[in-house]
Structure 1
Amino acid sequence: MAKKSQLSIRADSPSRSTEVVEQVNSDEGLLESLGYKQEFRREFTRWSTLSYAISIMGVLGSVPASWGSPLAAGGPTTAVWAWFSGSFFSLCIALSVAELVSAYPTSGGMYYVTKHVFPQDKVPLAAWIIGWSNFLGQTAGVASVGYSVAQMVLAAVSMSSVQDDGTVSFKPSAELTVGISIAILVLQGILCSLPSRQFSDTIRWFAPVNIIGSVAISIALLILTPNKIPPREVFGDVIDGSGWNNRGFSFLIGYLSVAWTMTDYDATAHLSEELHNAAVSGPVAIFQAVVISWLFGWLLNIAFGFGARDIDSLISSPMGNPAAQLFYNAGGSAGGFSMWFWVCLVQFFTGISAMLSDTRTCFALARDEALPFSGTLRKMNKHTDTPLYSVWSVVGFCCLLNLIALGSAQTINGIYGVTAPAMDLSYIAVIGARIYYEKELSIEKGPFRLGRWQKPINIIAIVWVMFISVILFFPPTYPVTALNMNYAVAIAGFIAFFAIGWWYAQGKGRAKFIAHTQ
């Protein structure tokens, strides 16, 4: 079906320019039929779109950043198999999202799809809640990636300061970490302010660095790591490290890594108004990116697992990151730093990709009058043809969130913890509505279709998200204290209360939003 919808364009075809123009006109016509005029330039190529979709997950950066969670909970076996099985369920979510955004390719992503899968009288409130949930989840994610890059950079400095006796002379402060995270967010904001053509030319390099780096580092670790543990301990020995006195539950906590990494599936959809043949290229890139991330993330977890001989020393590493300690154990200061540099770079790429998606979501919500100062946030800069007010509002919001880390690490970790469940729950609300109201509504189908597998895949996605959301909100260790408590559920509740309360208090603003969503 997808093949039929794509234009067949050969490099030596004399009608290539004519066909490209026809495709652009087709994309603009589809967007106009969905209620919006073309404001972005469609400059992303098929390769840059796929590279973007891969970089939003950024396994070479995200796996090392989150590996400590499954390692501490259930050991290397948990990290390996939780990633492998969790990626399958993540693929079900990605396919469900891809099919829906194929029919409605706009910058709003799944937020816009909401308008077509709920009955008309339920659309305004549903779109409001799902739009805000998706936007705030993305924003928390962007802030958390910026903070994790800062931690990784400082871990590299710590790696270079290891003394002969094994102690680390450099210990970063909270102020330094926050300061670097803000500098990183500002730099990412500058890159996200580029015109679409320049950004497309830049981002096409993100995926090759990610994939080649993942393979190279996995091989290097397998060769260089001394005293590797036996395969049985990597593939078949789940431990109970969570303190809940249950190895099965410890394994479930190991899903946190894949849940934190494999999310933001509709990020590519938020670029739909900048893609050629958006109804096909965006959904296909979503599917391909999850499969590629599944494979290379699993490879990294296996390579890491063979080096996890002393789990306690890795978890309590003075470098602040178990994977950084693993790299140091394998390559020493010089070798470990050389490998860790690429991890930091890919995580930086992930932050850029996540921020770009977030800015487009901000623009889409402002276009529908769903945000304060919507008239300003939706303005396009005449020089870059990008919404610079939305870009820098997102940057400013993320910087303010990271300032919270100066006063309370528990609070900021709770905010970061809202990222995955906020976005994933917004996805399944739309997917569930599509199933529930399918018979009474005329729901469009795009060129990317799941066919007879649509309903089973949708149901698997819904059940998985409901299950993993409980794990994401659960305290990861026992006994539960004020320091290790998972505050994400309380923060999620506050956000939900705020969003719904503001909806009922909005008055004229709400009336404008209703007009746009009906």
Structure 2
Amino acid sequence: MSVESHKENEFVSKVDVETVEEYENPDDIQLEQLGYKPEFKRDFTFLGLFSLCSSELAVLPGVAGTIWYTMGYLGLVGMTWGWFVGAVMGQFLAYSLAELASAYPTSGGLYYWAYMTAAPRYKLPFAIVIMLRCSMVYGHIHASSMLLHHVLRKSISHPLVLPTNPSQAAQMLIATAQLAYPNYVAEVWHVYLVYVAMMLFSYLIICLPTRYVSWFNIWATGLGIVVLIITTIILPAKATKLNSAKAIFTSAENQTGWPTGWAFCMTFLSATWTLSGYDVAAHVAEETSNAAVTVPRAMIWSTWSSAALGFVYLISLALCSTDIDSLVANPLGQPIGTLTANILGKKAGATLLAINFFSQFGCGVAFFVAASRIFFAYSRDKALPFSNWLSKVDKRTQTPNNASLAVFLISTAFGAISIGSDTAFQAFFSGSTLAGQISYILPVLGRCLYENNPEYTPGPFNLGRFSRAIRYMAVAWNFFIMPLVSFPSYPMPAPTDMNWAVVIYVPFQIIAMIYWYFWGYKTFTGPQPNLRAKERSQIHPVTDEIREKQL
């Protein structure tokens, strides 16, 4: 026997011993079967993961920040039916992605699912398109970088923030300051300093062990739900005048300039934007106990509960919104803040907006968590520059702190863009929003186009005979939503108010494809298992008995 063969046998024997001790956990067994070594501590329970998803969805500030899509577009009907239709139809996509999260519980999330579900000739293109979320700074990184900055910057120069702007936390912060201190005038450099401080605070939180991140989101979610319930009850109770129950479901005031039917469709964007990002659960799957079940359940429970809470909250707001024109035109730039101040007084209004701000900050932390795990997963598969450094996990905290630092630095840099040009920043957001919609639908589209995929094995959470119908509905709905995301708020907008989604998205696609064609292909050829083949062969299979225990 050669020396090399002897060493190989010795290595395999060692793996055999370690396998018995280490891989009793079904989560680790399944992750190893996907080709990856367990590197994280599984401290996320269902409650923690549900809270992380709910923090990211952030209904309380989400409704406040996207009120322009509903009240601002079509009045009371937009606030009720617009949210209802958008929220219910969005569940088809949530269920479709939850099914994939159960089959492939790994931090790679969407891009890994797209690669595994697509036909062989489309695997790499699908994965690369989704990884453009890093280039576009879509979703997690982009939202984190704009958190606490862009709307605040916009509020200084333009009190009425456009509906296409997603960074609600900053707007709530400036509105709170204006309510409490009417003479306060925010300067651009004030804004950026606050932004950097909040980004730094988020970075420090997510560098802690996972259990502390889980606790933070549990408290943030709990506070947000309690305040939302209190607000929903107290506003109609204290209001001196209310709309009728009939009016809130039938009264429409088209304020867009678009045909009323199209304006109604655009009101769906409030629920679409607020109830997106639940894939954050998938990106911490490797830190979650019983991930194949817990991750999809957290995704579904959080989207349905957020949809229901948002609908009830909007009914309450619609009852109290007896003068929509004055709410929209108020210099405060925050209709819900104005409404609350009118009913409860300025102090109460400022207090509720401050809590809104904290809830939105919790949303930013959730985004930041997912962004760091995305960077880690992509780097583990050699898809990013400096992959070896970015994919390292801190041995003390068992978190990807190098990836978190990269997210912090990139986010801070992108936040500085708006100091020079609001239009450039808004254009970047428009493009990344469209990129997000595309990245959400590609894994589901791959399943639809390659139904007889021999490599696909459903997880313990699966839709059974309803799977195909739900997936096709998800694809159809998303293709309908993508043009809505790309439309400006009203016809013939000025350049500063234009929706630049397509103009920004396509060049980024081209740049990223050029990078991959000349350089990226050398290191990235799809998900790259970091286990030896013989290591994987020693792993006990996930049996039906284990799956039953997971359920």
TM over 0.5: yes
CA deviation after TM superposition for structure 1 residue 423, in Å = 2.2
1:517, CA displacement in angstroms?
Answer: 4.9
> What is the aligned partner in structure 2 of residue 240 from structure 1?
254
Match of 1:140 among 139, 142, 146: 142
For residue 321 of structure 2, what is the aligned residue in structure 1?
A: 308
Q: Quote the Cα distance in structure 1 between the aligned partners of 2:32 and 2:417.
A: 42
**Distance in 2 between residues matched to 1:374 and 1:186, nearest whole Å:** 23
* Residue 285 of structure 1, CA deviation: 0.5
Q: Distance in 2 between matches of 1:388 and 1:150?
A: 26
**CA pair 375-215 structure 1, distance change in 2 beyond 3 A:** same
Cα separation, 1, equivalents of 2:322 and 2:82: 19
Task: Judge which range, 324-333 or 138-147, deviates more.
Answer: 138-147
Question: Any idea what the Cα deviations from partners look like across 1:101-134, whole Å, max 9, x if unmatched?
Answer: 1010000112111221123343223212212237
Equivalent residues in 2 for 1:119-158, closer than 5 Å: 119-133=119-133, 136-138=137-139, 139-147=141-149, 148-158=168-178
Is residue 384 of structure 1 aligned with residue 386 of structure 2?
Answer: no
d(CA) in 2 for partners of 1:230, 1:181 = 42
- In 2, the alpha carbon distance for the partners of 1:70 and 1:24 equals 51
Inter-CA distance 515–486: structure 2 relative to 1 (3 Å threshold): closer
Superimposed CA distance per residue, residues 67-99 of structure 1 (whole angstroms, 9 cap, x where no aligned partner): 123211111221211111111111111100000
Q: Which residue of 1 aligns with 2:154?
A: none
**How much has 1:367 moved relative to structure 2?**
0.5
Which of 337, 340, 363 is residue 350 of structure 2 equivalent to? 337
Partner of 2:195: 181
- The change in CA–CA distance for 1:307 and 1:494 in structure 2 (over 3 A counts) is farther
Tell me, in whole angstroms, the C-alpha distance in 2 between the residues paired with 1:177 and 1:310.
32
1:368 aligned residue: 381
Is the CA contact 1:61–1:343 (under 8 Å) kept in the aligned structure 2?
yes
Cα-to-partner distance string for 1:452-510 (whole Å, 9 max, x where unaligned)? 1111111111111111110110011123221321122222222212221211121xx42
- Give me the whole-angstrom Cα distance separating, in 2, the residues matched to 1:420 and 1:57: 15
Contact kept in structure 2, 1:238 and 1:251, CA below 8 Å: no
Specify every segment of 5 or more residues in structure 1 that has no aligned partner in the other structure, as ranges. Answer: 1-20, 162-167
Structure 2 distance, partners of 1:287, 1:39, is 26
8 Å contact kept, 2:111–2:131: yes
Deviation larger for 496-505 or 462-471: 496-505
- TM-score of the superposition, structure 2-length normalised? 0.85
Aligned-residue offset at 1:260: 1.4
2:83 aligns to what? 83
Kindly report the root-mean-square deviation, in angstroms, between the aligned alpha carbons of the 2 structures.
1.9
> Partner letter of residue 513 of structure 2?
I
Give the superposition deviation at 1:400. Answer: 1.6
Contact 2:280/2:370 (8 A) holds in 1: yes
CA distance in 1, matches of 2:350, 2:297: 36
Instruction: Report the TM-score, using the length of structure 1 for normalisation.
Output: 0.90
Structure 1 residue 440, shift from structure 2 partner: 4.6
Contact kept in structure 1, 2:243 and 2:322, CA below 8 Å: yes
Q: Which moved more, 1:52-61 or 1:229-238?
A: 229-238
In structure 2, relative to structure 1, the CA distance for the partners of 1:459 and 1:278 (3 Å cut) is: same
Aligned to 2:524: 513
Question: Which residue identity is paired with 1:195?
Answer: P
CA contact (8 A) 1:80 1:298 kept: yes
> Percent of aligned positions with the same letter in both sequences?
29
Counterpart contact for 2:70–2:83, Cα < 8 Å: no
Aligned length: 489
Contact residue 268 and residue 282 of structure 1 kept, 8 A? yes
Deviation at residue 305 of structure 1 after TM alignment: 1.5
The answer to whether the 8 A contact 2:434-2:482 is kept is: yes
Greater gyration radius: 2
- 2:25 is matched by which residue type in structure 1? N
Question: Aligned partners of 2:202, 2:528: CA distance in 1, in Å?
Answer: 32
Amino acid in structure 2 at the alignment position of 1:36? Y
Residue 70 and residue 178 in structure 1: after superposition, are their counterparts in 2 closer, same or farther (change >3 A)?
A: farther
- Cα drift, residue 51 of structure 1: 1.1
Secondary structure at 1:514 match in 2: coil
> 1:206 is matched with which residue?
220
Kept in 2, the 8 Å contact 1:49–1:282? The answer is yes
- The reply to whether residue 487 of structure 1 matches residue 469 of structure 2 is no
Cα distance, 1:268 vs structure 2:
0.2
Please give the alpha-carbon distance, in whole angstroms, between the structure 1 residues aligned to 2:170 and 2:22. 45
2:41 matched residue in structure 1: 41
Aligned to 1:190: 204
Query: What's the secondary structure of 2:399's corresponding residue?
Result: coil
Match of 2:180 in 1: 160
Cα separation, partners in 2 of 1:472 and 1:456, compared to 1, 3 Å: same
Aligned position for 1:66: 66
Contact 2:101–2:292 under 8 Å retained in 1: yes
SS state at 1:205 partner: helix
CA deviation digits over 1:360-401, x for unaligned, max 9? 011000111111111111111122111111111111212222
Aligned mates of 1:179, 1:395 — CA distance in 2: 14
User: Tell me, which stretches of 5 or more residues in structure 2 are unaligned?
Assistant: 1-20, 150-167, 530-551
* Pick aligned residue for 1:224 from 229, 238, 242: 238
Per-residue CA deviation, residues 264-303 of structure 1 (Å, 9 max, x unaligned), is: 2311010000001100000001000000000101112112
Please state if 1:101 is matched with 2:101.
Answer: yes
Is residue 328–residue 335 contact of structure 1 (8 Å, CA) maintained in 2?
yes
Partner deviation per Cα, 1:424-447 (whole Å, 9 max, x = no partner) = 311211111111112253311100
